[in-house]
Amino acid sequence: MTPVRFSLSSLKEGRWYEYLIRFVLGGAATVFTGLISSRYGASVGGLFLALPAIFFASATLIEKHEIRRKRKAGLSGERRGQMAAAVDSAGAALGATGMLVFAAIFWLTVERSIAGAFTAASCAWLVVSIAAWYVRRKMRSVRRAGRLRQANDSATARSRSS
């Protein structure tokens, strides 16, 4: 299992305007959620907590960064950029699933105790997010093993017919 790492050096790869785009889009998503909440109530607005506020900016920026890195190495990088953005989108979907569970648990328990609701919702978010990540990882391993088995079976069949 690959450990999660934190690196400040990746901040140097971005340009100032890319961070500005993320800030503006994140702020716009927050304002949008606030408008929904003021128009339709906190219950509906809370559902928008799961909105990955800067996902769209992040996905395009990740793709650009990967392409830029590969071009420096003399390669095209388009496929690598698409794959990096796809991995980021999968992570955003898993995180959004966890936030939906957070919002639902908080909504169901907040009238009893705010601190208890926050604690329960946070624990639920953590459990659901980790479980979703684990399930996705296992499903990828099973699919990869199935593809390898198919390739081996077809190679065996070709060698027998020769």
Q: Do residues 103 and 122 make contact, with C-beta atoms less than 8 angstroms apart? A: no
Q: What is the pLDDT at residue 126? A: 93
Please report, in tens digits, the pLDDT of each residue of the chain (162 residues total): 667 677 777 667 677 787 787 788 778 888 888 898 899 988 787 777 656 666 776 777 777 777 887 777 787 778 877 888 888 888 888 888 888 899 889 989 999 999 999 999 999 999 999 999 899 888 887 877 777 777 676 666 666 665
Distance separating alpha carbons of residues 14 and 11, to the nearest angstrom:
6
Q: What is the pLDDT at residue 105? A: 93
Q: What is the pLDDT at residue 131? A: 93
- Tokens, residue 46: 């809370």
Q: What is the pLDDT at residue 125? A: 93
- 39-66 pLDDT per residue, tens: 998 878 777 765 666 677 677 777 777 7
Q: What is the pLDDT at residue 50? A: 56
Q: What is the DSSP string of 72-113?
A: HTTS--HHHHHHHHHHHHHHHHHHHHHHHHHHHHHHHHTTT-
Domain boundaries, the chain: 14-161
- 130-144 pLDDT per residue, tens: 999 899 888 887 877
Q: What is the pLDDT at residue 160? A: 65
